[in-house]
Amino acid sequence: MRVQNMNDEQQAEVAEVLTGEKYPLANVPMKERKLHVRSLQSLTNEVYNMSLKGGRTKSVRNRIARLEKVIKFKTELFEEAMKENERTSRTSENT
């Protein structure tokens, strides 16, 4: 098998992936990455249901922390998308 050297462009792309600049979920643990696939409503429902229960073991506390982290990420992403949508609709109205 022959090894092929990467050119500068390919090396830059690999560096972007490894640092997480190109794919923000590249460095996220698998347990958290699975939560990013679920809808925001199901995540908030799970946090609500878990918070109603009495005693919390360490694993439940960790699960709630992961859920809240993903919820925060998704809400920021939605807010950014809504702002971008407002900007584009305003520019289309002006033209």
Q: Are 50 and 74 in contact (CB under 8 A)?
A: no
Per residue in 21-54, pLDDT (tens digit) is 556 676 778 888 889 889 999 999 999 999 888 7
User: Taking 90 as the threshold, does the pLDDT of residue 80 lie above it?
Assistant: no
State pTM to two decimals.
0.66
In this structure, the number of other CB atoms found within 10 A of the CB of residue 63 comes to 17
- Residue 85, token pair as written in the block: 């949508």
